[in-house]
Structure 1
Amino acid sequence: MTMKKIVFHLDFVSPYAYLAFEHLPQALEGLSYDVAYRPVLLGALLKHHGQLGPAEIPPKRAWTYRQVLWLGHTHGIAIEMPASHPFNPLPLLRLALATTQDGDISRYVAETLFRHVWQGGGEAGDAGRLAALAAQLRLSRDAGGDEVKAQLKANTDAAIARGLFGVPAFEVDGRCFWGFDGLAMMAACLHGDAWFQGPDWDAAPARPSLLRGSKA
C-alpha cells in the first residue's frame, strides 16, 4: 500500500483538534501514512470567512464543552477543560514553531502542547507553565522572534488560500476533511471507498444558493 501524506492543520485552542490528534492513529489503523502537523491561527481563519468561534456564541459554547467531554469519554481519550477557555493560543503556536526550521512540527511537540492544554485543567497561558514548556522542548528558533511570527502567518495564509475554514483540517490527495468526525470520512477515502470515485464529492457544492450575496 502506498504511503499517503496527510497535512494536519491544528490550533491548540481547539478541543476538536486535540481529540482528532489523539484519535488519529486509531482512526487510520491499517493504513500507511505520514503526517505533517502544521500549526495555524484558528482566529485568523474564522475572521477571514466572517465566522465566530463556537466559544464566542454562549449557547454553542456550552454545547461544545459538553460535547467534547462526551467525545473524550466515549472514545477513551483523556480530556479536561483548561481553567479558562477560550484563551490566546499565540504563545503556544509560536512555541511549537520555534522547535522546527519549517512550518511543520513533530508529533511529540504537538502532543506535548495539546496535553498541556487539555489534560490537568491548568491555565494554558500561565507564564510559569509556558516557561516550563520552553525548557522541556528543544527550541531551535526564538519563539518571540519575527521569523517564527512570519512562519505562523505563512502557514495560516496558505491554509486560507486552499479554502480551509477551521481546525482540525486534514489535506490528503487534493481533498480536505474537516473536524473530528471527518476522520472517519478520510479513513474511508484512504481505504478506497468507491463513493469517492462517484459524482457526489464534486457535485455537492455545484448548485446555486438562494442566500443573498452568496458566491456558492
Structure 2
Amino acid sequence: MKHITFYLDFISPYAYLAFEKLPEALMGHSYSVSYKPILLAALLKHHGQLGPAEIAPKRDWTYRQVLWLARRQGVELQLPASHPFNPLALLRLAVACEAQGLPNRYVCETLFKHVWQGGFDATDAQRLQAVSQHLAPQRAPDSDAVKAQLKAHTDEAIARGVFGVPTFEVDGKLFWGLDALPMLQDYLAGDAWFATAWSAAAAVAPGVRR
C-alpha cells in the first residue's frame, strides 16, 4: 500500500477540486492519505512567486477556469465573496482538530465547503465561530502549539520541495496540481515510465537565468 501526503491550503480552488476528485481518480488502487494543511503564502514567499490571484489577468482566468472545471467535473463550487483572503484561521482550525495536526477527510471537506460553497465570506467571524463549534477541535486553534505545528507543516513542505498546492507526495516524488491526478494514478499503477523519465527530466540544464 502506498501512502500519499496531500499538502493543501483551503484558499486554493484547485486544492478543493483535487480533494473532491482524488477518491475517484485513485479508485482501484491501494493507498492511504494524510491531509497536511500548509500556508501557501509562505511557499510563494520562499520561492519568490506571486499567487495567481495577485496578478489581475491571471486572477480573472483562474476564477473562470475553476468555475468551468467544477461544472465539467460535477463538483459544486461557488466563488467566495472575496478572494484571496487570509486562511490562517481555517488552517489552524484544521490542525487543531487532531493531535498530530493531520485533520481527517471530514474536517478538510467541511472547511473546503466553508470556503467554496455558498458564495459567502470565508473569514466572517460568525461563520468561523459556527464551523469551529461544529468541528469541536481537540485544541485551541489560536494556541502556540497549533501555530507552531502549522509552521512546522509548512517548513517541512518547503524542505521537501513543495512550491504550490495541491501537492501529493508519494515515495518522495511530488505531484503538483489538479491536473497531476492522472499522473499520480499512473505512478500508483506501477507505470515503468517513472523508473527512467522522472530522473531524466530533472537533469536538464538551465539555459538562461533571470
Check whether TM > 0.5: yes
Percent identity reads: 63
Gaps of 5+ in 1: none
RMSD of the alignment, in Å?
Answer: 0.9
Normalised by the size of structure 2, how large is the TM-score? 0.98
User: Paired residues, what number?
Assistant: 210
Residue 164, structure 1, aligned to residue 162, structure 2: yes
1:49-64 maps to which residues of 2 (within 5 A)?
49-64=47-62
Q: Tell me which of 123, 129, 132 is aligned to 1:131.
A: 129
Q: Counterpart of 1:9?
A: 7
Q: SS at the partner of 1:181?
A: helix
State the alpha-carbon separation in 1 of the partners of residues 24 and 166 from structure 2: 16
Q: Deviation at 1:212? A: 2.8
1:210 aligns with 2:207: yes
Task: Give the structure-1-normalised TM-score.
Answer: 0.95
Match of 1:102 in 2: 100
Match for residue 188 of structure 2?
190
Distance 1:82 1:140 in 2: 28
SS at match of 2:139: coil
The structure 1 segments of at least 4 consecutive aligned residues displaced by more than 6 Å after TM superposition are none
Q: Is the 8 A contact 2:79 2:117 kept in 1?
A: yes
- The alpha carbon displacement at 1:207 in A equals 2.1
Unmatched runs of 5 consecutive residues or more in structure 2: none
For 1:133-152, list aligned pairs within 5 A.
Answer: 133-152=131-150
Partner of 1:87: 85
The aligned residue for residue 171 of structure 2 is 173
Deviation track 1:10-38 (CA, whole Å, cap 9, x = no partner) reads 00000000000000011001111111000
Q: Is the 8 A contact 2:94 2:101 kept in 1?
A: no
